[in-house]
Copies of this chain bind each other. A is one copy, B any other.
Amino acid sequence: MQLDIRDKLIRRLKEAGGYVSGEVLSEELGITRTAIWKHIRELRSEGYEIESSPGLGYRLAGVPRKMNARELAYDLGTTVIGKDIRYFESIDSTNSAAKKAAAEGCDEGTVIVADAQTAGRGRLGRSWNSAAGKGIWMSVVLRPEMAPEDVQLVTIAASVAVSRAIFSVTGIRTGIKWPNDIILDGKKVCGILTEMSTEIDRINYVVLGIGLNVSHGPADFPEEIRDKATSLMCHQGEGLNDADEKSARVRTALFREILRELENVYFMLGSNAKAVLDEWREWSVTLGRPLRAEIRGVEYKGTAVDITPEGRLVIKCSDGVIREVMSGEVSIRGVMGYV
């Protein structure tokens, strides 16, 4: 990520933690004091609260109360994931936009993120509730060098990365329900939708869509999904209002940490996929649990016993037969309303 002069200004003010004189800023950034003043004015119009005092200079008093491209990308420290971050206040679907960007040849690691989706989607074309200011609605373009049949590993890696990021920012320990859900209090807090464009034996690109519920209170979910969906703030007992400064702050921190952990775990997939699978097993709320799986129209009951090196779920079925599933519908007892 190339820092522009305003990024540098913000960084300097953040690091100072108090007033910095216009003269010092002018000298350090190599531009005139008039130019400094113009950039400060622009940053204020982006929502930064910057106080100025004739004797002392400038001081950062607050960051924007909405998600903001500059705060999302600022000093991220990744080398691939998030090199190009495209933020939208509202978009139809981040996955659709990411697929379009990928088809047009964007770099690996390009991220589409929006404050609201008007037509967010989950698996199998289902709609995904993505209200303004309530969550992280993002999609990452990847170009892994693997066979199309191994792409489940990318979903596995992403679910580990998101789990790590949630824990590191909020201290909340979530669980992973195979193949693509992050579970909290027995409800879905995050869904991951992996789509890809392929030839028979080659991946053109993968789009990894992540929808993480953050600021909802219980009443923010439509009634029909209230027993199946939750948010990080629901778990902490407080929904956050869209205008609440904390909502943008928490979502920004989570977004940034997800990108960092995604880079870590995605790279690990190339060097040590076994370690990723082992960590997945630790986060899993699937292994060892009674479940019901529908595989191409046939229903099986059994217990999940492992995942394969390709990310397939291994089920010991009640008829004694061991079956592997690539995807399909899996209900875990005690999770998302299945008893």
A202 at the interface (CB under 8 A from B): yes
Give A326's nearest chain B residue, CB to CB: B201
A24 at the interface (CB under 8 A from B): no
A199, B193: Cβ atoms closer than 8 Å = yes
Bound together, the chains give a CA A326 to CA B201 distance in angstroms of: 7
Select which of B96, B197, B296 is within 8 A of A99 by beta carbon: B197
A201, B328: Cβ atoms closer than 8 Å = yes
Bound together, the chains give a CA A287 to CA B96 distance in angstroms of: 42
Check A197/B199 contact, CB under 8 A, given A96-B103, A103-B99. no
Q: How many residues of A contact B (CB 8 A)?
A: 29
A204 at the interface (CB under 8 A from B): yes
A230 at the interface (CB under 8 A from B): no
Bound together, the chains give a CA A199 to CA B326 distance in angstroms of: 11
A window 210-256: CB within 8 A of B = none
**CB 8 Å contact bits of A132-156 with B (1 = contact, 0 = none):** 0000000000000001110110010
Give A194's nearest chain B residue, CB to CB: B200
Distance in angstroms from A94 CB to nearest chain B CB is: 14
A200, B96: Cβ atoms closer than 8 Å = no
Distance in angstroms from A211 CB to nearest chain B CB is: 14
Bound together, the chains give a CA A103 to CA B296 distance in angstroms of: 25
A339 at the interface (CB under 8 A from B): no
Give A327's nearest chain B residue, CB to CB: B201
Give A100's nearest chain B residue, CB to CB: B103
Distance in angstroms from A169 CB to nearest chain B CB is: 28
Distance in angstroms from A150 CB to nearest chain B CB is: 11
User: 7 interchain pairs (CB within 8 A)?
Assistant: A96-B103, A99-B103, A123-B202, A124-B199, A124-B202, A179-B200, A180-B200
Interface residue ranges, A against B (CB under 8 Å)? 96, 99-100, 103, 123-124, 147-149, 151-152, 155, 179-180, 193-202, 204, 296, 326-328
Kindly list the 8 A-B residue pairs having the minimum CB-CB distance in the complex, ordered from nearest.
A201-B327, A200-B327, A197-B197, A195-B199, A196-B198, A152-B200, A194-B200, A201-B326
